[in-house]
Structure 1
Amino acid sequence: MSTTAHTGSAPADTSPTSPHGGAAVPPHRCGPASADPTGALAAFVCDRGGTPQLWLAAHGDAEPRLLDERADPVTDVSWSPDGRWIAYTSAPGGGEHTVVRCVRPDGSGHRVLAGAGSPAAASFGCWTPDGTALAVTEAVAADGDAPAPGPADAHTAAARSATAEMGLLIASLVDPDGRAAPRRVAAETGSATLRVCDVSRDGRWILLRRGPRGHREAVVLDTVSGRETCLLPAADGDPRVGRFSPDARTLWLRSDEDREYAALLAVELTADGAPGRTVEAAARPDADLELFSADRAVERAALVWNRDGRSLLETAVPGADGTLGAVREVRLPHEVVTRAEPATTGGLLLSLSSSVRPPGVWVAAPDGDPVRTAWTWHRSRPAPASSAPRPPLLLELTARDGLPLSGWFHRAPGVPDAGPCVVHLHGGPESQERPVLDPLYQALLARGLHVFAPDVRGSSGHGRAFLAADLGAGRFAAIDDVADCAAHLVAAGLADPDRLAVMGRSYGGYLVMSVLVRHPDLFRAGVAVSGISDFATFFSDTEPWNAESAAVKYGHPVHDHALLALLSPMTHIGALRAPLLAVHGALDTNVPPGESERFVRAARRLGATAELLVFPDEGHDLARRANRERLYAAAGQWLTRWTT
């Protein structure tokens, strides 16, 4: 059975009132955000209208202004240093193929800078220090016969030809005013990523980040000679890996070279851009440096550390000698920082996530605590205790081979300890489960289902060795980690062994299908969202740049064919016993929907219970609130049906 979900109007807000009075505003997510040069205004992504869109407001404004009325989901935003332009990425139609757009703060001058007319993924990096150009990256045809980045209106966008072969990533500097032609600064064939992270004040030096996950590189490029003068290992995670000092004689770099956890390095650069002495500017023995950012003058920096899934935020003054001065820890109102942007005024613009309320944007004075922006959603009065979200509990356990594991246990209100429980698995695989409010979990908890969200081996935030523990044949152990988590829940008296279920998205969806066929009698039901079922078809159908990255993590589709066949759930589908609901976005080109469609068809041919739910206007992630709510309802009904 296949079901197609159609987008409609979002349900009415169930919160008491709008946070600012007037018409009720549904609970919504805000962030990321970027400040104008004065620090008084912010452009930000928010789904208050049901789809993530671009908004603008002063921090104290109760009602923000919509800058782009298109229903295309917006994912990122950056304000130019001169204040004249706001750049952002959006996904036309809701799929994986993104474009880079820009707009003036007054809402005029809309134009496409990269990705127009091309079935590819375009993204942006940094602005040049004077704000006259934006660095963009576009995937194009390997033979170079592809649309060039640059300002475009609807007429020129339609005239640009699409390409069927996409094997080249090109990074360019684009003038949003369209007065200068785009300038190509780097190109990579068969690369997974390419991003311009910084441009020196004099424009001579460019900092690039490239390479697949687990093998990121920071490259200093001399724009005069075209030579790469410095190459250093960079950390995974946030693509903004470093900044030049004002004189470009120091490179501040987030790196995990020769260490378990990422740290901040200060690398001396010679007049020719070659690396000299390297100083460890900041490091912690038990925490990753997850984010590093600096204001436009590199006079004030923000460092965000990830310790056991929670964030620790510090501000500091980068010194010319490669040290940090005036280090101050900022008291956080929420558990996780997803972006920290130092403002030229000395303050901070923060995107925060909480375990008890939706993500929002906060501002902090130079020496003060963060204050919530007026347009970040909050309840005007407390929710009833029975329905108010509660912070999860961190559980620690040991895998069958002795590897320490951990995860967050969300307890359903009013349900005995040993009740029905869903093990939920995150994507990545190198993502991390964090103690933040997840509407999916809240929907499952409301149905009386506990939720345990673990980090199996291969997850980030636990050191490089843990991150690499699932490589190659280690993926079999990652699948067993899911079974060990279920066993721990039962042994600890937190779950009923006869009412266990499993759910996951992306790589987590792959793990769902894998554990159901490798441990067929453990779970009573499963929900796999956007998961890989067969590595052979995945590598043949996914985007080329995604295949390059995936080959490093999972195995090469030719050289490791036998291993990948054994790791594919489709190979063992005859062992499937538990009812499975597969969910996919029809526009997903990362993990194409055929992965779910073929698995469901094969399961049904063998007599297993399997259903398919397809969202026609979504890609790999469900960006629209109405679609996410349909997923929450469908998953909750499916899991409740088989565990009660």
Structure 2
Amino acid sequence: MVNESYSFERYLNVRTAFGPHFSPDGKKLSFLTNITGVAEVWSVPLERQISAPLWPEQLTFRGERVSSAVYSPHADVLLVSGDIGGNERAQLFLLQADGSRLTPLTSHLEAMHIFGGWSPDGQSITYSSNERDARYFDVYELDIAGGEPRLLLQQDGTNYSSGYSPDGSQVLVSRWISNTQSQFFLVERESGRVRTLTPDVSSGERGALYQAASWSADREGLYLLSNRDRQFHSLAYLDLTLLELQYLREDAWDVELLTLARDGKTLAMTLNEDGYSTLEIFDVSHGWEQRQPLLVPTLPRGVIAEMAWSEDGTQLALVYATADEAADIWIWNLQTGTINRATQSSRGGIPRSAFVSPTLVRYPTFDGREIPAFLYLPGDQQQQVPVIINVHGGPEGQSRPLFDPVTQYFVSQGYAVLAPNVRGSTGYGYEYQSLDDVRLRMDSVADLQHAALWLRESGIAASDRIVVMGGSYGGFMVLSAITNYPDLWAAAVDIVGIANFVTFLENTGPWRRKLRESEYGSLEQDRDFLEKISPIRLVENITAPLFVIHGANDPRVPVGEAEQIVAALRQRQVPVEYLRFEDEGHGLIKRSNRLQAYPAIARFLQQYLIPASETTPTAR
């Protein structure tokens, strides 16, 4: 093992900045950062950014997570969304841009409120809420000057407002059928008339996902992303008169982010190429056929997680990160052709040279496929080392080369970390994403088995020191791996994972059950299969010591999932440690809780993986 240079606390002190939004005059930028231990709203002036970022000002002091903050198009106020204790029941607030007043706009504390957008005149907002029935999301409009919300669309489904039309007469609505299928609708504000824009998946065609729609400059159509009739999400144009969808490009990867300036004249998009982002910007003021490519900033290979235009379309904010640099916000000025850093998040006093970038690898699995993965290796020894296989959640997710303090800490301690994108991951096409659906579920777990076998055979891993760790669906993968392939693992870490698919589907938030059943299977049709593959049914196979973390307020994977597996292992006297956090939900958000949980995980792994002769000195 290498000598420890920095404690886990130092790594967890690395900060991030995200959620950018420009003030109406383009002179300030609001953003979210966890400097205080939980995400709050901050603001930074953009003048004189060329020399150095100016010091930001904190605007909210909730002590609870803020999930978004969006400026009004005309006034110095922001619409803020935030929950309590990680319960995801977000409420909406109006924030004065100087931070002097935070006024609640919603009062149904047991309901979720999802912001859709400001009206063009800045007088109203639209949002979605499940206050009528916890299973369904309807669309509402609220005059921010006062009054009661007005119901725009009631429907027994999952309806999310995607903002107003440029003239403010209509609201664009996205209806989610599952996590991989959706439709677009337009709702007239005055009459309530609903116009369907994209096909109903019940018509017999393969389900498609439509997202990221923005109006064209002539307001006659929508630019959007879709994977209808194709493997990858592609840039398309929807004619609002004919309702004809035309694909504009043929890319071999997903177009991941798409955003147009408010006037529809400038389009920015990113491609997800094997986990890395490629940015392209076009002048589309005269339509796509007469588009003009614009200069884009030169950045090291990394990931662009968010984009936002200024009101006048001259500035583009990018949330950008690499594996060895945490997410910060950069501003690309189209007029000057310059890029400047708007935020400078702390590295916890750790030099960037101490962080490690991964290598993109592919390992063989049981059916001859090659599974993509990011491999982080410690600098001093790269053979016969302890390895953590870190499994992403979702399963509609993807491990990306993004900065992760947990990964960086363990690599600094001599562990290798493998972040695989097993079948079912997004980013590699519709077919690959569908390879773990319902009855194919255990094939993805077999991909984990073959990850461990590859690590052994390649000589990277010490064969008796391989750990599997994951959160949410990744937590299910952990529990499934140690029950189905018990001889491979020296230890395991389950964070907010699923132990029992039956109780998970029975107890998950009612708004989520239908969306998840197309992926996992339904209790009505697949109960026997779901019971069969649930880790709790195979608990007698577990021999690896297990560390379990869960939040008491988790609405997605209820805390009972953790307590089932913990109780079963304690009864069998298998080593298990359990941390339950009363003020957390689906994952650990608060810094104080992370400072308790992750060093505990490190001590747990050291106990079971690292001989006493290899322990490291006290960290700085």
TM-score (norm 1): 0.87
Moved more, 229-238 or 327-336: 229-238
Among candidates 444, 448, 463, match of residue 429 of structure 2: 463
Alignment correspondent of 1:227: 194
Q: Deviations over 1:7-37 (max 9, x none)?
A: xxxx99859xxxxxxxxx9531110111112
CA distance in 1, matches of 2:200, 2:300: 33
Name the structure 2 match of 1:46: 33
CA distance in 2, matches of 1:338, 1:236: 26
Report which stretch shifted further, 328-337 or 608-617: 328-337
What is the one-letter code of the residue matched to 1:279? Q
- Residues 602, 505 of structure 1: alpha-carbon distance in 2 compared, 3 angstrom cutoff: same
Unaligned runs of 5+ in 2: 1-6, 611-620
Equivalent position SS for 1:394: strand
2:69–2:79 CA contact under 8 A, matched in 1: yes
CA distance in 2, matches of 1:355, 1:12: 17
Equivalent in the alignment of 1:30:
17
Amino acid at match of 1:635: I
Amino acid at match of 1:262: H
What are the Cα deviations for residues 453-492 of structure 1, in whole angstroms up to 9, with x where unaligned?
1011111111111111110111110111111111111122
1:207 and 2:172 correspond:
yes
Q: State whether structure 2 residue 94 is matched by structure 1 residue 125.
A: no
- Return the letter of the residue paired with 1:203: G
Deviates more, 1:608-617 or 1:319-328: 319-328
Alpha-carbon distance in structure 1 between the residues aligned to 2:494 and 2:459:
26
Aligned to 2:221: 250
- Equivalenced residues, count: 590
**How do residues 339-418 of structure 1 correspond to structure 2 at under 5 angstroms?**
339-343=306-310, 344-366=312-334, 368-373=337-342, 375-377=343-345, 383=351, 385=353, 388-418=354-384
- Number of the residue aligned with 1:152: none
Distance apart, 1:319 and its partner CA: 4.2
Q: Identity percentage over the alignment? A: 27
CA contact (8 A) 2:184 2:196 kept: no
CA distance in 2, matches of 1:233, 1:504: 35
Mapping of 1:587-602 within 5 angstroms?
A: 587-602=553-568
Q: 1:542 aligns with which of 504, 508, 517?
A: 508
Secondary structure of the corresponding residue to residue 559 of structure 1: helix
Deviation (angstroms), 1:201: 2.1
Distance 2:536 2:350 in 1: 48
Report the aligned-residue RMSD.
Answer: 2.5
Give the corresponding residue for 2:3.
none
> 2:69 is matched with which residue?
77
Deviation at residue 109 of structure 1 after TM alignment = 4.0
Moved more, 59-68 or 255-264: 59-68
Structure 2 equivalent of residue 553 of structure 1: 519
- For residues 291 and 236 of structure 1, do their structure 2 counterparts lie closer, same or farther at Cα, with a shift above 3 Å needed? farther
* Separation in 2, partners of 1:384, 1:269: 49
- Match of 2:384, as an amino acid? A
Aligned to 2:232: 261
Tell me how far apart the structure 2 counterparts of residues 281 and 636 of structure 1 sit (CA, whole Å).
Answer: 49
Q: Which residue of 1 aligns with 2:616?
A: none
Asked if structure 1 preserves the Cα contact closer than 8 Å seen for 2:550 and 2:579, the reply is yes
Does residue 1:291 correspond to 2:257, yes or no?
A: yes
Q: Distance in 1 between matches of 2:200 and 2:71?
A: 29
Can you give the 5+ residue segments of structure 1 that lack an aligned partner in the other structure? 1-10, 16-24, 143-165
Say if 1:460 and 1:12 are closer, same or farther in 2 by CA, change over 3 A.
Answer: closer
Which amino acid is 1:206 matched to? V
Cα separation, 2, equivalents of 1:560 and 1:384? 49
What amino acid maps onto 2:595 in structure 1? E
Distance 1:215 1:419 in 2: 42
Indicate if the aligned counterparts of 2:388 and 2:469 stay in contact, CA closer than 8 A. yes
8 A contact 2:181–2:210 mirrored in 1: no
Instruction: Report the Cα offset of residue 168 of structure 1.
Output: 2.5
Q: 1:237, 1:34 → 2: CA distance?
A: 30
Q: Is the 8 A contact 2:30 2:43 kept in 1?
A: yes
In 2, distance between residues paired with 1:528 and 1:247?
Answer: 51
More displaced 10-residue stretch of structure 1: 538-547 or 500-509: 538-547
Give the secondary structure class of the aligned counterpart of 2:283. strand
Residue of structure 2 equivalent to 1:433: 399
Deviation digits for residues 522-543 of structure 1, max 9, x if unmatched? 1111000000100111112111
Matched, 1:241 2:212: yes
Pick one of 70, 86, 99 that aligns with 1:94.
Answer: 86
Task: For 1:493-512, list aligned pairs within 5 A.
Answer: 493-512=459-478
The structure 2 residue matched to 1:529, chosen from 492, 495, 502, is: 495
Q: Which amino acid aligns with 1:88?
A: V
- 1:68-95 per-residue CA deviation (whole Å, 9 max, x = no partner) reads 1110111222212113321122112333
| One-letter amino acid of the counterpart of residue 378, structure 2 | A
Match of 1:616 among 582, 586, 591: 582
SS in 2 for 1:370: strand
1: distance between equivalents of 2:329 and 2:287? 33
Q: Kindly state the Cα deviation for residue 63 of structure 1 after the two structures are TM-superposed.
A: 2.1
Show the 5 A alignment for 1:563-602: 563-602=529-568
Tell me the CA shift for residue 445 of structure 1: 1.6
Match in the other structure for 1:217 = 183
Query: Secondary structure at the residue paired with 1:358?
Result: strand
Q: Is the 8 A contact 1:44 1:54 kept in 2?
A: yes
Deviation at 1:296, TM superposition (A): 1.4
Shift of 1:205: 2.9
Closer/same/farther in 2, CA of residues 102 and 397 from structure 1, 3 Å limit? same
CA contact (8 A) 2:261 2:313 kept: no
| Partner deviation per Cα, 1:413-454 (whole Å, 9 max, x = no partner) | 323422110100011111110001101112222332111010
Query: Matches of 2:328 and 2:352 in 1, distance apart?
Result: 22
* Conserved? CA contact 1:428–1:507, under 8 Å: yes
Say yes or no: does 1:452 pair with 2:418.
yes
- Corresponding residue of 2:446: 480
What residue is the counterpart of 1:162 in the other structure? none
Which residue number in structure 1 is paired with residue 129 of structure 2? 138
Output aligned runs, 1:58-207, within 5 Å: 58-59=45-46, 60=49, 62-114=54-106, 116-142=107-133, 166-178=134-146, 181-189=148-156, 191=157, 193-207=158-172
Amino acid at match of 1:96: E
- Residues in 2 aligned to 1:381 and 1:438: alpha-carbon distance in whole angstroms: 16
Contact in 1 for aligned 2:325/2:352 (Cα 8 Å): no
Q: What SS class does the counterpart of residue 478 from structure 1 fall into?
A: helix
Distance 2:161 2:290 in 1: 24
* Cα offsets for 1:583-624 (capped at 9, x unmatched): 101111111111001111011212322221112211102111
Say if 2:232 and 2:429, in contact at 8 Å, map to a contact too. yes
1:566–1:236 Cα change, 3 Å:
same
Aligned counterpart, 1:327: 293
Q: CA deviation at 1:40?
A: 1.7
Quick one: structure 1 residues 629 and 233, their matched pair in 2 at CA, closer, same or farther if it must change by over 3 Å?
A: farther
| CA drift at 1:379 | 5.9
Aligned in 2, Cα 1:397/1:117: closer, same or farther, shift over 3 Å?
Answer: same
Inter-partner Cα distance in structure 2 for 1:288 and 1:384: 30
By how many angstroms is 1:334 displaced?
5.4
Pair 241,233 (structure 1): closer, same or farther in 2 beyond 3 Å: farther
Q: CA deviation at 1:321?
A: 4.0
Inter-partner Cα distance in structure 2 for 1:618 and 1:307: 34
